[in-house]
Amino acid sequence: MKIGLVGYKGAGKSSLFQWLTGQQPDPSLSHSIQSATAPIPESRFPELIKIYNPKKITYASIEIVDTPGLAPDQHGNSSKLAQLREINTLVIVIPAFNNAEPQTEINKFNDDLVIADLEIILNRIEKIQEQNKRPVPKSEHEKLELEYETLLILQNALENNSPLKENQLSLEQLRLTKGFRLLSGKPQMLIINTPDDEINLNQYQKYSKPDIPLIPISARLELELESMNQTDKLNFLEEMQLTSTDKNLVLKTILDTSGQMTFITAGEKELRTWLIPKDCAALDAAAAIHTDMAKGFIRAEVFKADDLIRLKNERALKAENLIRKEPKDYIIKDGDVLLFHFS
């Protein structure tokens, strides 16, 4: 599951990549995508560490990708856009420094995604029209007809800038659509890269939309703050009346946008989080640890980390009946601690 920092040249993608992953992208590879991982924060760990005193602590991590910046005039963009197709979630970096106007940049970038998608759709439509001029076997013909119909629906949605409703399509058509890896159909969030002397970060919330989370950050300021000790950092922020953006909140929002979440396993040996798709069942969570756990799944024992933190030990949880036995199809919730029984 790749999460890509995308946007125009100089928007601040590589600065954000460095802030989020702690890795500096290699400037000699700036024409291709570069990836690094970032551990997902778990706010309950400090308290859980006190309770279990574990030998080992492991955080699940996400793969973050720095991508080559697009040119505003679209010159030379096609190979860069092609590289974006393998990314699952778009974190769109929008500059608000050097007099850039965020709303204009947001609209323009989304238009560029739609134009790139339309090009693919129209190319494919043309190919099918060519193919249909020659005699084709009946089974082949039916397949092409279905694809053609799907392409026309997609073309219409893209040209009218109307988001595609999944119920417009049959399962087979949805499968075909996934195959096109349309950029405009990927989950999105926005990062507004603000001037580094911006006092009022809240003003940028006006660019958010219901399904598209938005976080304002000054990438350059955050990188500078990283090189300071805690006292200097706080003094500097107070003196300049600036606020720093919480990196944990950014990583959590990215995780959520990508449609994933974590669950916890806990013991004296290891305290650990695991990455799973949102709303997945206990059986899939077991498989995230080991396929054998899923194959021989008997049941899951589940409790809420927050209950344990409140009651201080597992014995007290048991006494209050807060450790539940759950079957394969139990849906994992945020903050669940799981123990799997398997044969």
Ligand X SMILES: Nc1nc2c(ncn2[C@@H]2O[C@H](COP(=O)(O)OP(=O)(O)OP(=O)(O)O)[C@@H](O)[C@H]2O)c(=O)[nH]1
- In this structure, which amino acid lies at residue 280? C
Closer CB to ligand X, 20 or 281, in the complex: 20
How far apart are the C-alpha atoms of 146 and 175, rounded to whole Å?
A: 11
Tell me if 143 contacts ligand X by CB under 6 A.
Answer: no
Does 10 contact ligand X by CB under 6 A? Answer: yes
Least Å distance between CB 69 and Mg ion?
6
Interface stretch with ligand X, choices 102-110, 183-191, 193-201, 236-244 (CB under 6 A): 193-201
Give the span between the Cα atoms of 139 and 175, in whole angstroms: 18
Single residue of 11, 151, 192, 286 touching ligand X by CB under 6 A: 11
Q: Name the minimum Å distance from CB 39 to ligand X.
A: 22
Which residues in 5-44 contact Mg ion (CB under 5 A)? 13-14
Burial of 184 (0-12, 13-18, 19+ CB in 10 A): buried
With binding defined as CB under 6 A, does residue 15 bind ligand X?
yes
- Distance separating alpha carbons of residues 253 and 19, to the nearest angstrom: 15
219 binds ligand X (CB under 6 A): yes
Shortest distance, position 38 Cβ to ligand X, whole Å: 16
Residues numbered 93 to 112 that lie near ligand X (CB under 6 A) are 97-98
**Closest to 155 measured CA to CA, from 132, 188, 177, 133:** 177
Give dist(CA 287, CA 36) in Å, integer: 24
- Window of 11-19, 159-167, 179-187, 326-334 that interacts with ligand X by CB under 6 A: 11-19
User: Of 107, 101, 114, 91, nearest to 12 (Cα)?
Assistant: 91
Asked whether position 34 contacts ligand X by CB under 6 A, the answer is: no
Residue nearest Mg ion by beta-carbon distance: 14
At 18 the three-state DSSP class reads helix
Closer residue to ligand X (CB): 219 or 282: 219
Burial (CB < 10 A; 0-12, 13-18, 19+), residue 54, is middle
Note the residues at the interface with ligand X (CB under 6 A): 7, 9-15, 30, 69, 97-98, 193, 195-196, 218-220
Note the residues at the interface with Mg ion (CB under 5 A): 13-14
